Amino acid sequence: MADARSFNHLSGTFVKVSTPAHGPVNAFHEPFWTELGQVFDKISQEPTVRAVVLGSALPKFFSAGIDFSALSFPNNGSDPARSALQLKRHILGFQDCISAIERCPYPVVVAAHGYALGLSVDIISACDVRYAAANTIFAIKEVDVGLAADIGSLARVPKVAGNHSLVHELAYTGRNFSAAEAEKMGFVSRVVEGGRDQVTAAALEVAKLIAEKSPVAVAGTKHLLLHSRDHTVRENLEYTAVWNSAMLQTQDLMDAVKAAQKKQKPKFGPLGSKL
């Protein structure tokens, strides 16, 4: 069983979330990803959090992906239709756990290192900012076990990166790709020399920077960027006008302007009482 405490080290204005060790390769089984979703849904309700860093506690593996040996497929005997209805619900539940990262109102910075295979890519693509250690080895591995990736890689990687040709190649072949290739295709924004510790330090640094900003502005920015990804420019502009019609009434804006006039760094309160 995963260690719940290690998921949720609240510390002032940021949170370090580490996937706990599950065997030597950090493989995922159902209780593990269920817990991942619950931890992120819990973080989402913490009004003092400002940014989240997601990393792995193991030195060599971000995660080896799903532990297929621990997987039991729903089975409804001989009726493929009834089996399909069960499987659909199962997949939707699984997706929902990983999408907890996306629906978390705070930016999530992921620090990848070592082997980051299969489900790792689904998880990493649901984060906001992606940093990779130079030693990271990624793979969209699902095709090698006879299935199309269904937990988010095919939904999100083509949208967050900028080279569909490479995304298709990687998804069809399941081959390993390096941090450098991930950066070239626009999947990660920074490759950090070294391994786990170096990339985690870099991720914490950017998370701290984010944590100093107005939480109203940061939460709005995440919300509107995700809306932008899934809507036209016109729809997004109109939605943004409605969103900011409430958000521009925030005290943070006045505080920021006043601090600017005094050439001081502004300080912003948390998002408030329990969300």
According to CB under 8 A, which residues from 32 to 61 bind a copy of itself? 51
The region of 2-10, 19-27, 28-36, 160-168 touching a copy of itself under the rule CB under 8 A is 160-168
Closest approach, Cβ 5 to a copy of itself, in A, equals 26
Q: Which of 166, 192, 199, 204 binds a copy of itself (CB under 8 A)?
A: 166
Q: Which of 145, 180, 193, 201 binds a copy of itself (CB under 8 A)?
A: 145
Closest approach, Cβ 260 to a copy of itself, in A, equals 7
Q: Is 190 exposed, middle or buried (0-12, 13-18, 19+ CB in 10 A)?
A: middle
CA atoms of 211 and 217, how far apart (whole Å): 11
According to CB under 8 A, which residues from 93 to 132 bind a copy of itself? 95, 99, 102, 105, 107, 128-130
Q: Which of 4, 180, 201, 225 binds a copy of itself (CB under 8 A)?
A: 225
Q: Under DSSP, is residue 203 helix (H, G, I), strand (E, B) or coil? A: helix
Q: Which of 13, 38, 70, 150 binds a copy of itself (CB under 8 A)?
A: 150
Q: Which of 79, 262, 263, 264 binds a copy of itself (CB under 8 A)?
A: 79
What are the distances in angstroms from CA 154 to CA 122, 132, 159, 171, 217? Answer: 8, 20, 9, 8, 30
Q: Does 267 bind a copy of itself (CB under 8 A)?
A: no
Determine contact, residues 128/108, Cβ cutoff 8 Å.
Answer: yes
The owner of tokens 């924004």 is 189
Q: Does 80 bind a copy of itself (CB under 8 A)?
A: yes
CA atoms of 150 and 33, how far apart (whole Å): 14
Closest approach, Cβ 35 to a copy of itself, in A, equals 20
| CB contact set of 128 (below 8 Å; sequence gap of 6+) | 107, 108, 109, 222, 225
* Total residue count of the chain as it appears in this document: 275
Q: Does 221 bind a copy of itself (CB under 8 A)?
A: yes
Q: Which of 4, 85, 180, 201 binds a copy of itself (CB under 8 A)?
A: 85
Determine contact, residues 32/2, Cβ cutoff 8 Å.
Answer: yes
